[in-house]
Structure 1
Amino acid sequence: MKIGILGVGHIGKTLALRLGAAGHDVKVANSRGPETIAAEVLASGARAVKVPEAVADVDVVILSIPLNRLPEVAPLMARVPRETVVIDTSNYYPVRDSRIDAIEAGQVESLWVVERLGRPVAKAWNSIGSSSFATKGMTSGSPGRIALPVAADREADRNVAMALVEDTGFDAVDAGTLAESWRQQPGAPCYCTDLTREQLPTALAAADAARLPKRRDLAVAAFQERMGDSTTNPDADFGVRISRALFM
Structure 2
Amino acid sequence: MRIGIIGAGLIAGTLTRRLTALGHEVRVANSRDPETLADLAAETGATAVWAKEAAQDADLVVLSIPQKNTPDLPEGVVASRKPGAPVVETNNYYPQQRDGRIDAIEDGTPESVWVSQQLGTPVYKAFNGIYWEHLLNRGRPRGEAGRIALPVAGADGPGKETVLALVDDLGFDPVDAGPLEESWRQQPGTPVYGTDLDADGVRAALAAAPPERPAEFSA
Whether the TM-score (by the shorter chain) exceeds 0.5 is yes
Contact 1:147 1:200 in 2 (8 A): yes
**Alpha-carbon distance in structure 2 between the residues aligned to 1:145 and 1:78:** 32
**Alpha-carbon distance in structure 2 between the residues aligned to 1:40 and 1:78:** 22
What's the CA shift for 1:180?
0.6
**Alpha-carbon distance in structure 2 between the residues aligned to 1:34 and 1:99:** 30
**Alpha-carbon distance in structure 2 between the residues aligned to 1:25 and 1:148:** 23
In the TM superposition, what are the counterparts of 1:15-26 in structure 2 within 5 Å?
A: 15-26=15-26
Contact 1:109 1:182 in 2 (8 A): yes
**Alpha-carbon distance in structure 1 between the residues aligned to 2:95 and 2:181:** 21
Contact 1:17 1:41 in 2 (8 A): no
1:90 aligns with 2:99: no
Match of 2:62 in 1: 62
**Alpha-carbon distance in structure 2 between the residues aligned to 1:215 and 1:50:** 35
Is the alpha carbon distance of 1:12 and 1:94 closer, same or farther for their aligned partners in structure 2, counting shifts above 3 Å? same
Taking only the aligned residue pairs, the percentage that are identical comes to: 49
Match of 1:27 in 2: 27
Range 127-136 or range 186-195, more displaced: 127-136
1:104 aligns with 2:106: yes
Contact 1:148 1:165 in 2 (8 A): yes
- Structure 2 SS opposite 1:194: coil
Range 175-184 or range 157-166, more displaced: 157-166
In the TM superposition, what are the counterparts of 1:107-118 in structure 2 within 5 Å?
A: 107-118=109-120
Match of 2:196 in 1: 194
Match of 2:142 in 1: 140
What's the CA shift for 1:12?
0.3
Aligned residues: 216
Contact 1:13 1:41 in 2 (8 A): no
Match of 2:131 among 129, 132, 151: 129
Is the alpha carbon distance of 1:59 and 1:99 closer, same or farther for their aligned partners in structure 2, counting shifts above 3 Å? same
Match of 1:3 in 2: 3
1:63-107 deviation digits (Å, cap 9, x = unpaired) = 011111112225033633552211111011102111011111111
Match of 1:166 in 2: 168
Which aligned runs of 4 or more in structure 1 are off by greater than 6 angstroms? Answer: none
Gaps of 5+ in 1: 218-248
- Structure 2 SS opposite 1:201: helix
> TM-score, normalized by length of structure 2?
0.92
Match of 1:176 in 2: 178
Contact 1:15 1:168 in 2 (8 A): no
- Structure 2 SS opposite 1:125: coil
Say which structure is richer in helix: 1
One-letter code of the match for 2:175?
A: V
Is the alpha carbon distance of 1:138 and 1:84 closer, same or farther for their aligned partners in structure 2, counting shifts above 3 Å? same
**Alpha-carbon distance in structure 1 between the residues aligned to 2:75 and 2:182:** 27
Contact 1:19 1:167 in 2 (8 A): no
> TM-score, normalized by length of structure 1?
0.81
- Structure 2 SS opposite 1:152: coil
